[in-house]
């Protein structure tokens, strides 16, 4: 919901940093993998309930996730780069929730519901992107992307805010997980409705 607005703020500095890295020959895929490694480093921190470290690593991962796209726009985007970015994002999102539950097993049911809800938003997003590409439908509302980005209530910005809230208020995780999961299902339903309008004969 907030991604398009956030892009207007972060794209200029990310673009400058991406151009500088591209000039030095740094490949976008290397930034993607380095960002995923940083994000994965938050997993043991979450399991150990070291939430300050986890939050710092999560935020750094998200900054690097924006940076790899900026590098790709200057060095030349590739289909594999877009694929790698999406795979790393989805693994990171589910990993944060899973390892939070490792540290707080009493919250495992709420965590399982949240991951279940992520499957809804992720599958509705990817299925829409596949059919949009098949039909030649494009958009740059959220910047130039490898895939069609269909919007929703719970996008990247909202998910980052959720992860920050989890780390800052771990005791509130069940409320956050059930509430955000419900919003994910509203997003999924809206995307299915949008697909029905766009893709039905």
- What is the b/e burial string over 77-106, where b = at least 16 CB atoms within 10 angstroms of the residue's CB? beeebbebbbebbbebbbbbbbbbbebbee
Q: Is the pLDDT of residue 181 over 80?
A: yes
Cβ(83)–Cβ(31) under 8 Å? no
SS3 143: coil
Range of the domain at 143: 3-199
pTM of the model: 0.86
Q: Is the pLDDT of residue 156 over 90?
A: no
Distances (CA, A) of 162 to 21, 165, 187, 193: 30, 5, 15, 25
Per the model's pLDDT, the better-predicted residue between 9 and 198 turns out to be 198
Q: Is the pLDDT of residue 13 over 80?
A: no
Reading the block at residue 16, the tokens are 């400058």
pLDDT at residue 1, as a whole number: 54
- What is the b/e burial string over 168-187, where b = at least 16 CB atoms within 10 angstroms of the residue's CB? eebeebbebbeebbebbbeb
Cβ(193)–Cβ(150) under 8 Å? no
Q: d(Cα 150, Cα 142) in Å, to the nearest integer?
A: 9
pLDDT, tens digit, 9 for 90 and up, residues 47-59: 999 999 999 999 9
C-alpha 70, offset from chain centre: 16
pLDDT at residue 86, as a whole number: 92
Cβ(149)–Cβ(129) under 8 Å? yes
- Once rounded to an integer, what is the mean pLDDT over residues 66-87? 86
- Once rounded to an integer, what is the mean pLDDT over residues 19-44? 90
CATH of residue 181's domain is 1.20.120.1760
- Once rounded to an integer, what is the mean pLDDT over residues 115-141? 85
Domain count, the chain: 1
Residue with tokens 């710092």: 56
pLDDT averaged over every residue in the chain: 87
């Amino acid at each position: 919901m907030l991604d398009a607005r956030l892009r207007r703020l972060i794209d200029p500095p990310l673009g400058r940093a991406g151009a500088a890295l591209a000039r030095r020959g740094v490949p976008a895929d290397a930034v993607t993998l380095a960002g995923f490694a940083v994000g994965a480093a938050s997993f043991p921190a979450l399991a150990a309930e070291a939430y300050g470290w986890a939050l710092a690593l999560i935020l750094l991962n998200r900054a690097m996730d924006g940076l790899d796209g900026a590098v790709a726009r200057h060095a030349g985007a590739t289909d594999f780069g877009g694929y790698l970015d999406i795979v790393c994002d989805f693994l990171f999102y589910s990993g944060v929730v899973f390892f939070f539950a490792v540290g707080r097993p009493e919250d495992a049911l709420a965590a399982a519901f949240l991951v279940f809800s992520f499957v809804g938003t992720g599958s509705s997003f990817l299925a829409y992107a596949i059919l949009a590409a098949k039909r030649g439908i494009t958009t740059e509302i959220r910047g130039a992307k490898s895939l069609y980005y269909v919007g929703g209530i719970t996008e990247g910005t909202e998910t980052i805010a959720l992860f920050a809230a989890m780390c800052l208020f771990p005791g509130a995780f069940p409320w956050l997980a059930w509430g955000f999961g419900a919003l994910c299902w509203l997003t999924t339903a809206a995307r299915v409705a949008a697909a029905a309008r766009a893709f039905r004969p």
